[in-house]
Amino acid sequence: GLYGLDELVWTHLSARLSDGTTLLTPGTKLFREVEPGDLKKSSDNVTADVIHKAVYDARPDVNAIVHLHTPAAVAVSCLEDGFMCLAQDSAFFYERVAYHDWEGLSDDVSECERLGKAVKAGANTLLMRNHGFCTFGASVAEAWVLAYYFESSCQVQLAALSTRQALLRPPADILLKARKQTDLPEFRAGACEWDALVKLAEEDCDSGGAALGVVGRNLPGAATRAFEAAHEEAAPAGEEAALRAELAVAHRLTRDFGMDQLVWNHISARLADGGVLITPGRRMYSQIGPE
């Protein structure tokens, strides 16, 4: 996938219907091939049935689950100390990560009971030792965006540990404050990001997936030409139009080189009159135009 979170036909996503049944990843298709009609009530991958059933049975508040084997999260699952809250995005998970020891491939329904006991109320993530992780939420949007931030937080943890320098850990009271802020409607996982992600997925479908994340990647010459062309085209319309074009291209470049973070982070430029043009905050960088 675009963010590299999938693993061939393995790992799985699910959502619970109002009648209590669930829709699951089929287990026989690459993630980019999965369409609405492919989702199943029971996956061809038996481990999906076991893991997801365990969480749903234990947590009536959960309506969606994302189970992944992303590299950084798997690496953290192999650390004795497990997950560490070190930077801002990790506040989503402060005192909300549960743990479950690896028992081999999850094809035994008896594991459901132990998985269920692990996912205590309040947890939004299950770190499965030597295996992977699950994030869960009230919606698909919340569960998926939490998965994105969990993997990125694990990447930060590994990068920090790799320096072998002393870690600057945030104070517990600040982490608690930040975690409470992530529960606010405007900061809750998926609240700002999901519409933009859906649009991105639609664009991927329209283009067959081939064009996304390719244009401009590792092509600084082409990127520079695009920037200059946008500036020249907009220049007659005045300074603001030119700056809008430049900022739009900067957003695309940031995304193409993998430096964006969903709808977060921002780029700005000051106009001659003292006004400021800034990233809108509710669009993927690839979707931002001068307007």
Non-local CB neighbours of 35 within 8 Å, separated by 6+ positions: none
Closest alpha carbon to 91 in 133, 125, 139, 126: 125
List, for residues 107-128, the tens digit of each pLDDT value: 767 788 889 899 988 899 999 9
Distance CA 90, CA 157 (A): 9
173 pLDDT above the threshold of 90: yes
- Pick the range with the lowest mean pLDDT from 156-170, 236-250, 274-288: 236-250
| Backbone φ, ψ for residue 29 (5° rounding) | -130, 150
Tell me the residue type at 35.
E
Per the CB < 8 A criterion, the answer to whether 99 and 127 are in contact is yes
Task: State the pLDDT at residue 1.
Answer: 53
Closest alpha carbon to 126 in 177, 179, 191, 82: 82
Structural domains of the chain sorted by starting position, each given as residue range(s) with its CATH number in brackets: 12-191 (3.40.225.10), 197-287 (no CATH)
State the average pLDDT for the chain.
Answer: 75
Half-sphere exposure of 110 (CA within 13 A, CB side): 2
Predicted TM-score (pTM) of the model is 0.73
- Pick the range with the lowest mean pLDDT from 6-20, 72-86, 130-144: 6-20
154/2: higher pLDDT? 154
Task: State the pLDDT at residue 161.
Answer: 97
Give me the torsion for CA of 187, 191, 193, 196, rounded to 10°. Answer: -150
